[in-house]
Each structure stands twice: as C-alpha cells, then as structure tokens.
Amino acid sequence: MLKCRELVGKADQYLDGELLLRERLAIRVHILMCHHCRRYLRQMGALLRAFPHRHDSASDEEVCAVMEHLQQHADKQDEPA
Amino acid sequence: MEAETLSRLRSGEDGVFSELVREHHRALTALAATVVGVSEAEEVVQNAWLKAHGAIAGFEGRSAIRTWLSRIVINEARMQLRSRKREVFLEDQVSSEGQDPLGDWFNEDGRWRSPPVSWSYDSPEALLMGVDLSGCLDDLLARMPANQRSMLEMRDTSELPFDEICNTLTLSASNARVLLHRARAQVFKLVNHYQETGEC
C-alpha cells in the first residue's frame, strides 16, 4: 500500500500523465481511502492550471515598445538599398 | 478562442498582434530571464517578437500559442548567450541541501502530520491572482535556486514539453523531475499557508 509521502512524491508525474497504469492505479486506490491525499492532488492540480495565468497583462508602455520596435524594423526593411 | 485569434493573426488584422503581446509579454520576459538573466531578458523578448511577427503566418497551431512563443524566446535567449560566449547558467546537479520542502508535513511512518487545508478559490485561473499572494510568489521565486525557477517557468508557466526542457537546460530527466517537484512543493506550501493564515 502506497504511503501518503510516497504519493506526494509521485504526484507531479501523476498530474503530468507520466506514470504507468500500475502506478496510476495504486494512486487511485490510495485516494479512495485518504481524503488528505485526495485534497493534495486536487489542489496541486488547480495550482498547475493556475500557473500559465500567473503573469499580469503587459502595460500600454510595454506593448507600445514592442510595436514600435516592430515598426522600426519594418521601416528599415522598406528603405531602398 | 485560440483558433479564432490565430486566424485573425494570420489575416494580419490590425491590433491582434498587440493583443498577443499584451497577453504574453510578461510571461515571456520571465522565461527569458531564467536563461539570460533579468538585465538581458527584455532585449531577447523584443527580438523574439520580431521573429514571431515574421513567422506567424506559418504557425500551424499544433501547439498552444504560448508554447510556440516560448520556443522562439528560448532560441533567441540561447543565441544571445552564444553571441556573448556564455552558457546556460544552471547548477545542473541537484544539491542535497533543501530537501523535499514538504518533508516536515509527514510523520516517520509516511502519513500526514500536517495535511493541507482546504483551499478556497473561484477558479484555478484566479488562484494565484490576488495582489498579496502574487507578491509573495514573486518573492519566493526570487529566492528559489535558479534551476528550480527555470523548471517552473518552462514547464508550468510556458507549458514546454519536459524532454525539450531537459535538452535546453542539459539536465537529466531524473534531476529535472526532482527540481520541478521541489519548486512546485514550495509554491504549494506558500499557497497553503496563505489560504490558512491570509499571510505569506
């Protein structure tokens, strides 16, 4: 029987879909009986879904700097040789 | 949503590219900083936007736009390092210090001593968005060893494939896995503490 500590050690690979069927089943059996581990997996899953949204949108100044850089590059390319 | 954005980008519709910049610029800058450092990250991302703008018509949408942009940033960052005759700076060995951050949550028999509290959040997307928590997370990432921070930015923020990250950082898969676990565990612990106490 998988121990809670071992489950947490494998949780990353479980959530990333990288475990073998046998290992996935061991985790599923464990979380049927252990609500702490069930909560850990659910909340770690939420955390991983949150990560790509962690950064704020860029400011107007940052967007303008990028767009101006693109424009300068395009202007240079349009210059006659 | 992404398919619609992509089709508008390909058709060269005004303003769509700047929307893309607005959405992804900060994440890409944080990603670049893990390879070239904060001081050169902005320059790398500016160059990456140029490349992306030129290549967007050929992007087939097989990966998410963020992943595609992240690959361009990583390539630009590596070119920048080569031009300066530097290498990706990472302690590629997993140090024995900083054992498992969640180690003290368990008893000797491997069962929970301090199980996580139940978190309250409207949606996973909003979980890390609170101003206080966001600041705490920035502080944690700044203190985190560079190799752990890189794994987190590349895998969890940019969603790059695991084997691609190992190649970029010249890490073995087992070391990369340990680094990612330690990084995620620290963030989990931070969020759990914040949920429990309202403080970092």
pLDDT, tens only, B54-78: 998 888 888 888 999 999 999 999 9
Give the mutation candidate from A40, A55, A59 for the B interface (greatest B CB count, under 10 A).
Answer: A55
**Using 50, 70 and 90 to split pLDDT, how confident is the model at B94?**
low
> pTM score, two decimals?
0.86
Question: Would you state the structure tokens that stand for residue B32, as one six-digit string?
Answer: 């670049």
> Are the C-beta atoms of residues A29 and A19 closer than 8 Å to each other?
no
Instruction: Give the mean pLDDT of B6-15.
Output: 78
**Distance in Å, alpha carbon of A71 to nearest chain B alpha carbon:** 10
A57 or B93, which is more confident? A57
Distance CA B13, CA B5 (A): 10
Residue B118 predicted with pLDDT over 70: yes
pLDDT of B128: 87
**Distance in Å, alpha carbon of B199 to nearest chain A alpha carbon:** 18
Residue A60 predicted with pLDDT over 90: yes
Q: What are phi and psi of B93, to 5 degrees?
A: -90, 145
The number of domains in chain A is 1
Where do the domains of chain B lie, and which CATH numbers do they carry?
2-83 (1.10.1740.10), 103-197 (1.10.10.10)
Distance CA B36, CA B25 (A): 16
Those residues with Cβ within 8 angstroms of residue B168's Cβ, 6 or more apart along the chain or in another chain? B35, B74, B78, B88, B154, B160
Residue B89 predicted with pLDDT over 80: no
Q: What is the mean pLDDT of chain B?
A: 87
By C-alpha distance, the chain B residue nearest A13 is B177
ipTM, 2 decimals?
Answer: 0.87
By C-alpha distance, the chain B residue nearest A35 is B115
Question: Would you state the structure tokens that stand for residue B184, as one six-digit string?
Answer: 């995620």
Chain B residues in contact with A70 by the CB 8 A cut-off are 17, 49-50, 53
By C-alpha distance, the chain A residue nearest B161 is A16
**Using 50, 70 and 90 to split pLDDT, how confident is the model at B112?**
very high
Residue A81 predicted with pLDDT over 70: no
Question: By residue range, what is the domain housing residue A74?
Answer: 4-78
Q: Output DSSP code: residue B85.
A: T
